[in-house]
Structure 1
Amino acid sequence: MLNVFPLQYNPVTGELAFYSEINVSIQTAVSAESQNAFQKFYRSDKQTSTRLEKLVINTEAINSYPSMDNSRDVDDFEYIIITNSNFLAEMDDFINFKAGQGYHVLAKTTEEIYAEYSGTDIADQIRNFIIDAYQNLGAEYVLLAGDIGIVPHRGFWVDAGGTEDFNMPSDLYYEGLDRVGTGSGPDWNVNSDGKWAETSEADYYAEVHVGRISADNTTELLAAINKQMMYQDSPVIDDLENVVMVGEELNNSPYTYGGDYKDEVVAGGTYNGLTTAGFDANLSVETLYERDGGWSVQTLQNQMSNGINFINHLGHSNTDYNMKFYNNSVNNNTIQNNGINHNFFIIYSQGCLPAAIETNCIAEKFTTIDNGCVVYVGNTRYGWYMPGGTNSSSQEMDRQFWDAIFGEGITQVSAMNNDSKEDGASQCNDPWFRWAYYELIVLGDPSLDIWTATPTDMTVLYQPSISIGTYAIPFQTDVPFARVGLFQNDELIGRAVADEYGDVLLETFEPIITPETISVSIIGHNKTRHLGEIVVVSNEPYVIFESYEVNDVNGNGNNLPDFSEDIALDFTLQNVGNQPANNVTATISSTDEYISITTDTASFGTIDPQNNSIVTDAFEMTLADNIPDQHEIIFDVEASNSTDETWMSYFTMTACAPDFIAGSMLVNDSSGNNNGILDPGETATIIISVENIGHAISPLAVSSLVADNDLITFESTISQLGILGIQGSANAIFEVTADASISLGTQVEFTFNVVAGSYNYFTSFGHPIGLIVEDFETGDFNSYPWEFTGSADWEISAGAYEGDFCAKSGTLGNNANATLRIEVETSADGDLSFYRTVSSEINYDYLQFFIDGAMMDQWSGDVTWDQETYFVTEGSHIFEWRYIKDQAVTGGTDNARVDFIVFPPLGMVFPPIMNVVPGLLNVDIASNQTLEEIIEVSNIGGELLDFTVAVTGAVNWLDVTPDSGSVSSGEMEEITVTFDATGMEEGQYSSGLIFEDGLGGQTIIPVIMNVSGTDAGNNLVPLQTELYGNHPNPFNPTTNISYGLSVDSHVAINIYNIKGQKVRTLINEKQQAGFHNISWKGYDDSNRKTTSGIYFYEMQTRETDYSSIKKMLLLK
């Protein structure tokens, strides 16, 4: 295995290397070892290729492997039982049960194995037999029937940080078969050092699925196998959707609860960098969590006895203690579910040592009494948990076990256990992970299919009769990977596993040569077992459907049944009997709503035994113009002869039609700020790719796009797609504008529709208008209603992920915490994301993130900046970032940082923001004249802006109308400024207008009136040097800075961030006296965009020794 680390830290130099892109080139070559492994262990069946596709990225290479002969015959046995002769005598019922499910079972005694196979010891002999069974007999499942005194275990070695074990029981030894020894010793210990399963000696991927019935005597054996049979064949239906999650207190410093671990299992999601599926919604989940209150063993006993399907547990355990049970309390009196009154159940436990099978462990007790537990999945040694957190190897196995069934469709218990390991096999260099990998075993039937819902009847189609000599029988079901078994005279004569669609052509071990009726058994996940019969026909005619071909000369001529097409069938019947069928007539029928049969009867004449009769254009029909693609139409065929003998058969037809799927919605706002988000006031192009994934060319297709918000407008809601060929695609393109008044973060639902003839495709896309971001670039916590709790407040700090500032946890002592929290009202479902970094004492001090009091994840040690994202539903929520310290020791810089928080759509009310333009009024006016100018007051924030305006100084030549007003978000109001030079002498007059926003903020607009007897010209000079201000303020992306020079001066204007660092020099040169403006577009001296936040601009002149500093706010 190769592990790739894109981040590398050198603790000596303090350098951190990051590789944003790594190209890995792998060259393969045939070797004797690889060729040996390929020839002995590779299978080219569907199950193997499906499993491979989940494990590798270059799935196309699978097709380059030569096909192996995977056909099943009478000498193949996929289910192997290993036990001693004494136990085998008691297992006939179980062997017949598994055969009845469609498994070909081979039972092999240990006495036979020891006599027939060599090995370094008896465990090696058994493994060599399993290898032989896998290579030559098609073995898939291995049941070890007996405890280690009957079927020995192999003890593995692991050293996990000083916790060392030389004898860890692991049935992986019997599962991983393709390890080729290259040293002097056997597989799994090639260097003969006594340390079995060192990293370089291990085979982490199982060839077979192993389970064990760890019984000491025949009484325990019979109790265990009875539960296996009853659970699988006759469950108590009412209990199958009942689940109990059991979590105990694991640690009190810091407090650590099993309930937190179990919550991750039930809910599913992304925790500690791992994404797994949660439980299906139909399951009824009860919890016994010490986190939420105490519970007794009696409470759990009652739940077990009253009917559950499985238990998932985490708590301290031992060889004789688990879930508050001791060995002596596990009996038929305390646990009373007997499979008739209530269902047997499955236990999965992360506890330490319950399955230590070299002892009389408690897992053996649970599985070998008459009542209670049918399968136990647990640890033979210590389970691993994380104090104060949930990031542990045992937790990963647990989550992946249930992800196998609820996320990947793997439903058999040992396959689930193996998948839970193999999903993380690349981590096996970590000894703690390898420890958990080795120790998890299954006590029960490895092929047991776990119920997850009330079973339903399956839909099954197969021939009601066959003729002597038949060897291949097609089956169609609605169950992926259904298992079919055929029996004649109580003997298994053939079996097969369906494909992912539920279909299979079953080939019998030998052609059918006797006339006895064949019994059919079909099983599948969450399905009632189907039992049926097939009649074997002899010494009479028997006419059935054989084949058809489509004649669509009146359609598109592709010989396929396409939508809206008139077709005829060239139809073939076969006489599978051994007597002639005279004057045969056949009639077809179907109850399918998408087919109209216009000619349903045809004559086929006399059909000799084992011969066919073909009639051209025998039947005619019309397919509906809205038939779904790949819709399967079932036809019944009734054939009869001149003596009124009637035979029934069926056939199916798969229709071809267009089928559309849309890709993601792309926003091209290159004419705006080019951030891929539709922002308020922005016009953008929306592009949606549409593909025809169906099996027929589409009619002319037209798409439309509408929004659920009136402030979103379209140039046109229609986009033509044209005719889409099979696998063809086209882009739907729409020009869209978001009104400037739409609130930032508003979630807009876009509904997309494709219409092509009678086919309609709908989907929707949620898109926020702008991003609601807290990046702390204001240099404070005032942008949102932040709160602090705990022993210290959070602080604004440098070292940000983005921009200049981030939030950092305050300085803490021991046993303390600092919490940054915010209460919000989300107006729609959406994602909350943020970046975080931690530098702390590993595994003791943590940054934890909570939503509504529930911890989502935690981080400890030296954790670099990375983004976390969580789905949040509409409604009220509390988000908390908490840095906690334990009772001693400090590690790293002992703090956590958070930055660039993107909120989901918020119902939070944003304050109004006043913007006044222009930022300076400088007018020329003749004496005894009046003049009017306009100032615009706009609200670029939220809510309602209530403003006032007043004239500075006692002047009578300046007036404003109105002097107050209210402006809604995104709106603007004009203020008329009147200049009156009546009776005024030539000269320059100055004043100002003070605009106040009612929230303590104000904007001052300098006003200069230049009075002249004649035309004042354009060469006016202010009476004094002054920095007037910038407008607009706040701004995005450009603001204009206005200033006046009373004499020719050398002027310098510099921009500084909130830390006092110079960002840009706007001007540094000699300028003439007069009024001036200069623009800043938000770029620094390196021509890089600056982040949003507070900035200061300073003006200095040499000649007048003038200096002034003002503040401005850049919003993005």
Structure 2
Amino acid sequence: MKNSKLIVTILFILVVSSTSLFAANGYDVSYSQPMSDQIKLDFDLGNYEIGQTVKNGVTYSTINFENNVTTKKNGFAELPFIHATIQLSNTKNVTTDIVANNYIEYQLDHPLLPSRGTIYRNQDPSSIPYEIADESITDEFYPGNIAEAMEPFIIREVRGSLVYVYPFQYNAQQNVLRVYENVIVTLTDNGSTPINPINSAPQSITRAMNSLYKTVFINFSETRFDNELEEFGSILVIHTPRDAAAIGPYIDWKREKGFTVYVEEVSTGTNVTSLVSSQYSSHNDILYVQLVGDWADISGTTIGGTATDPTLGCVAGGDVYPDLIVGRFSASNAGHVTIQVDKTIGYERTPELGGDWYGKGLGIGSSEGAGIGDDGETDTQHIDVIKENKLLPFTYSDVAEAYGNPSMALVSGPVNDGLTVINYCGHGSTTSWVTSGFNNSAVNNLSNGDKLPFIISVACVNGNFQTNECFAEAWLKKSGGGAVAMIASTINMSWAPPMKGQDYINDLLVGGYDYAAHPGQNGITTDVQKTTFGAVCLNGSILMVTEDYGGGLDEMQHWTIFGDASLQVRTDTPELLSLSNTAVLMGVDFSTNITAGGSPVENAIVTFSQDGESFSGVTDINGDVTIVHGLDAGTCTMVVTGFNTETIYDDAVAVIPPGGPYVLLNSFETFDNNNNIPEFNETITIDVELENVGTDDATGVDITLSTANSYITITDSDEAVALIEDGEIVSLTDAFIFEVANSIPDQTNIIFTLEMVGNEDTWTSNFNITFNAPLFEAGFMTIADSGGDGVLDPGETATLSIPIMNSGNATSEEIVAELTSSSLDLITVTNSTFNADGLD
């Protein structure tokens, strides 16, 4: 679809085409492949300035650069650096060649501002001095390497490497700053023994991870994989004998929903690190690991003696990037497990239809962090950006604020009223949020019932669950309220990196975020959406580490998911689902189209279960799904789930046995007097194919086409077929005719019904057609006035230029643009209309 512009009174066409990565970070990087075994990255530095600041009475030079990721070596100059992430071949190392011949040197008036190292959220930043380390004052440029490729890592099916470029180099002894404004890095496969190879090449990629790869890797190629995308991944549940009965309903529900679930029972106190790895080796469809019990029941990996559940997911290769998403129902008894299982099942299976609380959230932020937070933000500014720029433009209608030094009531009130997301950024303890003082006791006093939020917490030790009951556990174990899921750290978090991680988690929740469109905010732009809590959190963590490996790694390893890692989150009032077909026939593939509010539902999961066997499918972008099944005659359970939709759960679906005739719509095709694409203001003819999938002939079949949509007028609605033999497909040419209204909105999806009445029975099939139409939008107005200042003053005559764009999917017919005013006593419009040919 071309996007043309029509300018009223003045025609001006400007076409800008560019491709860049991370442009919002103050630099561009382009990728090319000169040879099959070679990757070339061309880094171009954006604008930067040399300024100065006074800290503790000392004047320092500073580098003002839009990218806010800097070196963190304590006492050494704080220098911005840039990066790109590349996909490598599965079994080759690379040799790195760097071309950086041109640079600019600046003789500074003052020494560069030194880094204070990593600052943690249990520290007072104002008490940490700026001090230049004696060992930093040498006659050498720091950090030295202009570029480096990090050791290869693996994320499930993809092997890659981070390439860091250090365009700012500082000689502290000479007080000289050297700036490389262009750096070319070439990586060439070599024959050395491969580091961290993928020896068994995967043949397909997991659907839940595919979009992350496209965001992270500048050169990601799906063509390296032979097969279609796998589905959303399977679940490995690990529990002790104590919790076998309590976790049973969770396992049953996830299987009914469509997941393959592997179950391992272990003795109390088992370290499951090797078990998770061996299970992934045997079942590499596993994406989620669900631990059941607290640390004394099931332990895993640790760093410095502290629990690191996320690192249990590091199973592909010998690197630190998780390949699996690990969640934990932390519980010291079976009753705690039951509470969390009931919350999970109720949240997914029986949402409150019509509940307006799904579109509400809460942001909590301290007033601290100015200058050291991500993008230089305080915690409050950071949380407010998430609210204003991400949540409110998405599905959220109201996000309550608890900023600065809020009372506990400013937290408990919105939670009890009902909301779906809480973002917290501030100080924390094992049992509280310091900002607000909200603690375990306050959680236990909540009365939000089934109105359960999920929580993203940037705070120290909210998830320190190894000994006493931590804050995250209190939220999850709370009966009759609390939360359904939470991500919280087992350690003291650093200041800025987890803020970036929280940004990315919210970016993925709302379907992406364009940092280039928001000056002053820096990050990896993405158009990706994740809708399971674990996928949102892990992918956000990986993006955090991708941008700042040194600062983000510790956070990713300790940021723990409490609750169901595979939980389908909700951010809006559930929409009702409509299935074009619900008839399940033994021995016949099941096909249906799923819509909500008249629009196709993509990624809805449809599952039939019977006698321990499940058959699933996922809808495509058009809402279509076909499921090959082996259901026997009788009944089965059908479950349909989707993002922000109702859940259809029917445990008495009839499986129709072969016997007698059964006629259904096999296929249809539309024709018109134009391009055979259904569009506005057209007369459309439909050819249909009817199939008798039964065991007997169908006779005397009268077929009627109908629709309840007012944009369609059916002028020929009837057909008849004398005989359709069993197994026969009958083609009806020019079977039906209808007219499409000129006013139909673009991308309107309309359901049509075929009723087939035979001598033996009546059968019904539904199908959907999406219609294209123009969609006009007005661009920004420019004013050419006699004063030349672009402002309308009394007595002036001006020409207004307004771009008119067709962003729809059909070319418009001749159009008339009309300019009107609601203040005719103040404005005289001398030329109010403009005629133009159709817009593409």
1:113/1:687 Cα in 2 relative to 1: closer, same or farther (>3 Å)?
Answer: farther
User: 1:21 Cα shift?
Assistant: 5.7
1:68 alignment counterpart: 227
Aligned to 2:635: 517
Q: CA deviation at 1:606?
A: 0.5
TM-score normalised according to structure 1 size? 0.51
1:661 and 1:693 in contact (8 A); partners too = no
Aligned residues of 1:79 and 1:139 also touching (Cα < 8 A): yes
Q: Which amino acid aligns with 2:561?
A: V
Q: Which amino acid in 1 is paired with 2:227?
A: M
* TM-aligned CA deviation for residue 480 of structure 1: 4.3
Sort the Cα spacing of 1:571 and 1:285 in 2 relative to 1 into closer, same or farther, 3 A. closer
- Verify: 1:357 aligned to 2:473, yes or no: no
- Is 1:396–2:500 an aligned residue pair? yes
Q: 1:345 to 1:657 in 2, by over 3 A?
A: closer
Q: Which has the higher strand share?
A: 1
- Deviation string for 1:78-115 (max 9, x for gaps)? 2221223442343211111222333232212346999x
Q: Residues 567 and 177 (structure 1 numbering): CA distance in 2 closer, same or farther, change over 3 Å?
A: same
Q: How does 1:773-784 map to 2 (within 5 A)?
A: none
1:90 equivalent in alignment to 2:246: yes
The C-alpha deviation readout for 1:875-928, integer Å capped at 9, x for no partner, is xxxxxxxxxxxxxxxxxxxxxxxxxxxxxxxxxxxxxxxxxxxxxxxxxxxxxx
Contact 1:496-1:504 at 8 Å conserved across structures: no
Asked if residue 624 in structure 1 is aligned to residue 741 in structure 2, the reply is: yes
CA distance in 2, matches of 1:507, 1:548: 19
Residue of structure 2 equivalent to 1:421:
541
1:220 aligns with 336
CA distance in structure 1 between the partners assigned to 2:247 and 2:754 by the alignment: 45
- Name which of 550, 565, 580 aligns with 2:682: 565
1:602: Cα distance to partner? 0.8
- The answer to whether the Cα contact below 8 Å between 2:293 and 2:331 also exists between their aligned partners in 1 is yes
SS in 1 for 2:343: helix
Structure with greater helix share of residues: 2
1:335 aligned partner: 445
Partner of 1:126: 276
**Secondary structure in 1 matching 2:213:** helix
Corresponding residue of 1:699:
813
**Cα distance in 1, alignment partners of residues 833 and 209 from structure 2:** 47
What's the counterpart of residue 434 of structure 1? 553
Quote the Cα distance in structure 2 between the aligned partners of 1:269 and 1:337: 25
Q: Which residue of 2 aligns with 1:318?
A: 429
Q: How many residues align?
A: 649
Query: How far apart, CA to CA, are the structure 2 residues paired with 1:238 and 1:698?
Result: 38
| 2:309 maps to which of 159, 171, 177 | 171
Match of 2:594 in 1: 476
Alignment of 1:981-1000 (within 5 A): none
Amino acid at match of 2:607: L
- CA–CA distance in structure 1, aligned partners of residues 685 and 204 of structure 2: 42
Taking a change above 3 Å as real, the CA distance of residues 269 and 214 of structure 1, as seen in their structure-2 partners, is closer
Inter-CA distance 473–79: structure 2 relative to 1 (3 Å threshold): farther
- The residue that corresponds to 1:381 in the other structure is 491
Unaligned runs of 5+ in 2: 1-161, 513-528
Aligned-partner SS, 2:198: helix
**2:667 alignment partner, SS class:** strand
So what's the TM-score if we normalise by structure 2? 0.67
CA distance in structure 2 between the aligned counterparts of 1:366 and 1:353, rounded to whole angstroms = 14
Partner of 2:698: 581
Q: Deviations along 1:850-898, whole A, 9 cap, x unmatched?
A: xxxxxxxxxxxxxxxxxxxxxxxxxxxxxxxxxxxxxxxxxxxxxxxxx
Answer whether contact 2:239 2:292 (CA < 8 A) is retained: yes
1:434 counterpart SS class: helix
Residue 264 of structure 1 aligns to a residue in which SS?
helix
Q: 2:753 aligns with which of 636, 639, 645?
A: 636
Matched, 1:592 2:709: yes
CA distance in 1: counterparts of 2:681 and 2:414, whole angstroms: 57
Q: How far apart, CA to CA, are the structure 1 residues paired with 2:758 and 2:694?
A: 13
Check whether the contact 2:452–2:484 (CA below 8 A) recurs between aligned residues. Answer: yes
SS at match of 1:559: coil
Q: Quote how far apart the aligned CAs of 1:311 are.
A: 4.0
The 3-state SS of whatever aligns with 2:277 is helix
Distance in 2 between residues matched to 1:507 and 1:12, nearest whole Å: 70
Cα offset for 1:579? 1.0
Which of 78, 91, 97 is the aligned partner of 2:234?
Answer: 78
SS of structure 2 residue aligned to 1:415:
helix
What is the rounded CA distance, in whole Å, between the counterparts of 2:201 and 2:581 in structure 1?
37
Tell me, yes or no, if the aligned pair for 1:276 and 1:407 is still in contact at 8 Å: no
Q: Does the 8 Å contact 1:486/1:518 carry over to 2?
A: no
- What's 2:159 paired with? none
Structure 1, unpaired ranges of 5+: 115-120, 157-165, 181-186, 188-200, 386-391, 729-1116
**In structure 1, how many angstroms separate the alpha carbons of the residues matched to 2:613 and 2:185?**
50
Which residue type is aligned with residue 208 of structure 1? L
Report deviation, 1:44.
4.2
Q: Which AA in structure 1 matches 2:332?
A: D
In the alignment, what sits opposite 2:265? 109
TM-superposed deviation, 1:535 = 4.6
Shift of 1:393: 2.1
Measured after TM superposition, the shift of residue 571 of structure 1 is 1.9
Structure 2 letter corresponding to 1:221: V
Return the alpha-carbon distance in structure 1 between the equivalents of residues 373 and 581 of structure 2: 63
Alpha-carbon separation, structure 1, partners of 2:655 and 2:768: 21
Q: State the SS of the aligned residue for 2:465.
A: coil
Checking the alignment, whether the CA contact within 8 Å between 1:304 and 1:335 is kept in structure 2 is no
Q: Deviations over 1:612-644 (max 9, x none)?
A: 11122121222223333443232111101134x
- 2:274 is aligned with what amino acid? D
Other structure's SS at 1:541 match: coil
Q: Which residue of 2 aligns with 1:291?
A: 405
Matches within 5 A, 1:543-558: 543-552=663-672, 555-556=673-674, 558=675
- Give the CA deviation at 1:9: 4.8
Q: Give 3-state SS (helix, strand or coil) of 2:484's partner.
A: strand
Q: Secondary structure at the match of 2:254?
A: helix
Q: 1:149 to 1:668 in 2, by over 3 A?
A: farther
The partner residue of 1:443 within 547, 552, 562 is 562
Q: Residue 2 of structure 1 aligns with which residue?
A: 163
Deviation at 1:70, TM superposition (A): 4.4
What's the CA shift for 1:610? 1.8
Instruction: Give distance in 2, aligned partners of 1:304 and 1:594.
Output: 43
User: Which one-letter code corresponds to 2:459 in the other structure?
Assistant: G
Q: Distance in 1 between matches of 2:553 and 2:346?
A: 35
C-alpha distance 207-703 of structure 1, shift in aligned 2 (>3 A): farther
- Inter-partner Cα distance in structure 2 for 1:300 and 1:564: 54
1:168-215, Cα deviation, whole Å (9 max, x unpaired): 43233133443x3xxxxxx2xxxxxxxxxxxxx422xx4332211122
Q: Distance in 2 between matches of 1:687 and 1:303?
A: 44
Q: Judge conservation of contact 2:306–2:490 (CA < 8 Å) in 1.
A: yes
For 1:389-428, what per-residue CA distance to the aligned partner results, in whole angstroms no more than 9, with x for missing partners?
xxx2232233333333235343322122123223333333
Maintained 8 Å contact 1:519/1:531: yes
Shift of the 66–108 alpha-carbon distance from structure 1 to 2, 3 Å rule, reads same
**C-alpha deviation, 1:77, in angstroms:** 6.5
1:37 is aligned, of 194, 198, 204, to 198
Are the structure 2 counterparts of residues 349 and 691 from structure 1 closer, same or farther at C-alpha, using a change threshold of 3 Å?
Answer: closer
Q: Equivalent residue of 1:448, what SS?
A: coil
Q: Distance in 1 between matches of 2:831 and 2:245?
A: 79
SS at match of 1:95: helix
**Aligned equivalent of 2:296:** 149
Q: Structure 1 residues 655, 322: closer, same or farther in 2, change over 3 A?
A: closer
RMSD: 4.5
Report the alpha carbon displacement of residue 684 of structure 1 after superposing the two structures with TM. 9.4
Distance 1:358 1:127, change over 3 A: farther
Shift of 1:656: 3.9
| Contact 2:591–2:626, Cα closer than 8 Å, also in 1 | yes
Given that 2:359 and 2:395 are in contact with CA atoms closer than 8 Å, whether structure 1 keeps it comes out as: no
